[in-house]
Chain A
Amino acid sequence: MSELLTPSQTVGPFLSLGLTWLEGHLVVPPGSPGAIRISGVLTDGAGEPVGDGLVETWQADAEGRFDHPDDPRGATGSGFRGFGRCATDPGGRFEILTIKPGPLGDGQAPHIDVTVLARGLLDRVVTRIYFPDEATANAADPLLASLPQERAATLVAQETGPSELRFDIRLQGDGETVFLAV
């Protein structure tokens, strides 16, 4: 087999012409039972906000299942989209409204996969959001357990209020978020 893959290129500064959806950040409709708001700021190596980026999320449903044929347990057929996308504003802020995913049953703690795209990123960068109320599961998670504690902490969202989580993404430098090769 050959690997003649199409190379990646940056989204550039004008990604909103093609990638912005009015309600892209709504993984679930407002008012859904169990809805949580995850918000944060995307910053660069100088600590400046990245105001022309895009954050995308992908996750299982509350039962830890995917409405996808490649889930070996079968697609749920629920129509749960599992996907969120939010362009950053001039202050680098983004947010999604979603529900907490359930455990997948494979030893991993509940998590959301994240793609970050921006001008100056020639390829996407990938990270994960974990949950602060899952200390036991997080301690046993293969990825988190493989990281030094202060690095692992960059992947765990912080609770800032009822059903409100904060997850900042630092592309470079002090407190740099752990990024993943997938």
Chain B
Amino acid sequence: MTIPHPAGYRPAPDGNHPPLLSEGYRSTVLRAPSEAPVVLRHRLTEVTGPLLTGDIGPNDHDLTAQHDGEPIGQRIVVFGRVLDSDGRAVPNTLVEVWQANAAGRYAHARDNWPAPLDPNFTGGGRVVTDAQGNYSFTTIKPGAYPWGNHHNAWRPAHIHLSLFGRSFTQRLVTQMYFPDDPLFAQDPIFNSVPDPTARQRLVSTFDLEATRPEWALAYRFDVVLRGREQTPFEEPHE
């Protein structure tokens, strides 16, 4: 029995994603594979993927409501749509987020830079997109923090996002930044994206319309995952 090969997903254009070896970011030097990746034609395992929508807790979308008190910091709403590159919504897909607190410290045993921990902030959250691909979560604006990559290195404020889409090929982990951050120019992680236009797609936009009056500022961050080929790849039968 043979089954037809499914339509695959279109590759990212050159320069859209960072190269794995990016010497300005020192940790890549021993972790980037030396060999070029082997191209794998998309088959069933690649065009399917985990559809994870369960186990979302009541405060998972609100990082300011996970403890007895409220965390210190500027309260913000981060929202947007998850789309594919054909503009189609990606509904019912898990979005996981994590971030530092307002002082730039992660609630993690291995983050030892001497900024205060906030007993009311853990910094992890998750949401599932609605039928139109919308997601929204409430948090506080993370602080910048120094790291040991190079002399006087500082990470721009950012929120980590992890997305699954609907297929193994659409899996994406990224970071969302804030507009006009003066730390962009010296950050090798932000600048690891070769195409400067693509790099700007990592920067959220302040959205006055979405701001909640007398409550929270709002930043929009749309995420675009790979779109699918229109037709199955044809190949001769063996």
What is the interface of chain A, defined by CB distance below 8 A to chain B?
A: 1-19, 44-46, 48, 50, 52, 56, 58-60, 66-68, 70-73, 81-83, 104-108, 111, 113, 115, 117-126, 128, 142-143, 146-147, 171-173, 176-182
With a cutoff of 8 Å between Cβ atoms, the chain B residues found around residue A119 in the complex are 27, 31
* Nearest opposing residue in chain A for B227, CB measure: A1
Interface: B117 (CB within 8 A): no
Q: How far is the CA of A120 from the CA of B20 in the complex (A)?
A: 8
Interface: B205 (CB within 8 A): no
- In the complex where A14-B106, A120-B30, A171-B33 touch, is A7 in contact with B193 (Cβ < 8 A)? yes
With a cutoff of 8 Å between Cβ atoms, the chain B residues found around residue A71 in the complex are 44, 48
- B1-24 contact mask (Cβ, 8 Å, vs A): 1 or 0: 111111000111100111110100
Q: From residue A157, how far is it (CB to closest CB) to chain B in Å?
A: 16
Asked whether, in the complex, the Cβ of A18 is within 8 Å of the Cβ of B160, the reply is: yes
Residue of B18, B40, B86 near A181 (CB, 8 A) is B40
Interface: B115 (CB within 8 A): no
Q: How far is the CA of A6 from the CA of B193 in the complex (A)?
A: 10
With a cutoff of 8 Å between Cβ atoms, the chain A residues found around residue B189 in the complex are 9-10, 122
How big is chain B's contact interface, by range?
35 or more
Q: How far is the CA of A47 from the CA of B234 in the complex (A)?
A: 41
Asked whether, in the complex, the Cβ of A83 is within 8 Å of the Cβ of B40, the reply is: no
* Nearest opposing residue in chain B for A177, CB measure: B33
- In the complex where A6-B223, A70-B6, A122-B20 touch, is A52 in contact with B110 (Cβ < 8 A)? yes
Asked whether, in the complex, the Cβ of B20 is within 8 Å of the Cβ of A19, the reply is: no
Asked whether, in the complex, the Cβ of A143 is within 8 Å of the Cβ of B40, the reply is: yes
Interface: B133 (CB within 8 A): no
With a cutoff of 8 Å between Cβ atoms, the chain A residues found around residue B47 in the complex are 70
Asked whether, in the complex, the Cβ of A18 is within 8 Å of the Cβ of B227, the reply is: no
* Nearest opposing residue in chain B for A7, CB measure: B193
Residue of A8, A107, A108, A173 near B172 (CB, 8 A) is A8
Q: How far is the CA of A108 from the CA of B5 in the complex (A)?
A: 12
Interface: B167 (CB within 8 A): yes
Cβ contacts A to B, 8 pairs, < 8 Å: A7-B199, A10-B25, A14-B108, A16-B108, A45-B31, A58-B45, A147-B38, A181-B40
With a cutoff of 8 Å between Cβ atoms, the chain A residues found around residue B20 in the complex are 121-123, 125
- The residue among B6, B32, B167 with the most chain A CB atoms within 10 A of its own CB is B32
With a cutoff of 8 Å between Cβ atoms, the chain A residues found around residue B85 in the complex are 1-5
